[in-house]
Amino acid sequence: MTEAEIFDVIIIGAGPAGMTSAIYAARSNLKTLLLDRGIYGGQMNNTAEIENYPGYESILGPDLSQKMYDGVEKFGADYRYGTVQTINDLGTVKEVITDEGTYQAGAVILATGAEHRKIGIPGEEEYGGRGVSYCAVCDGNFFKNKDIAVVGGGDSAVEEGIYLANLGRSVTIIHRRDQLRAQKILQDRAFANDKIHFIWNADVKEIIGDGKAVTEITYRDKQTDEIKSVPASGIFIYVGVLPMTDAFKSLGVLDNNGWIISNPEDMTTSVPGVFAVGDARKKDLRQIANAVGEGAVAGKGVFDYLQSLP
Ligand code: FAD
> pLDDT for 116-149, tens place per residue?
999 999 999 999 889 999 989 888 999 999 999 9
Q: What residue ranges line ligand 1, CB within 6 angstroms?
A: 12-18, 35-38, 42-44, 46-47, 50, 52-53, 83-84, 111-114, 156, 159-160, 244, 247, 278-279, 286-289, 291
Whether the predicted pLDDT of 94 surpasses 80: yes
Q: What percent of the chain has pLDDT over 70?
A: 99
What is the identity of the amino acid at 149?
A
Confidence of residue 4 (pLDDT cuts 50, 70, 90): confident
Whether the predicted pLDDT of 2 surpasses 80: no
Q: How far apart are the first and last CA of the chain?
A: 29
* Torsion (CA) 189, 192, 195, 198 in degrees, nearest 10: 80
Rounded mean pLDDT of 30-41?
A: 98
Whether the predicted pLDDT of 73 surpasses 90: yes
Rounded mean pLDDT of 77-81?
A: 98
Q: How far from the centroid of its chain's Cα atoms is residue 167's Cα? A: 23
What's the confidence (pLDDT) of residue 219?
98
Rounded mean pLDDT of 69-80?
A: 97
Q: Ligand 1, atom 33: nearest CA belongs to which residue?
A: 47
What's the CA gap between 143 and 157, in Å, rounded? 17
Q: Which ligand 1 atom is the nearest neighbour of the CA of 289?
A: 25
Q: How far from the centroid of its chain's Cα atoms is residue 25's Cα? A: 22
Q: Is the distance from CB of 283 to CB of 263 less than 8 angstroms?
A: no
Whether the predicted pLDDT of 1 surpasses 70: no
138 is catalytic: yes
Rounded distance from Cα 56 to ligand 1 centre (Å): 18
Structure letter (DSSP) for residue 254: B
What's the CA gap between 243 and 303, in Å, rounded? 26
pTM over 0.95: no
Q: 200-221 pLDDT, tens per residue?
A: 999 999 999 999 999 999 999 9
What's the CA gap between 288 and 284, in Å, rounded? 13
Q: 223-241 pLDDT, tens per residue?
A: 999 999 999 999 999 999 8
Rounded mean pLDDT of 62-67?
A: 97
Q: Is the distance from CB of 159 to CB of 181 less than 8 angstroms?
A: no
Q: Of the listed 8, 89, 99, 135, which one is catalytic?
A: 135
Rounded mean pLDDT of 187-196?
A: 98
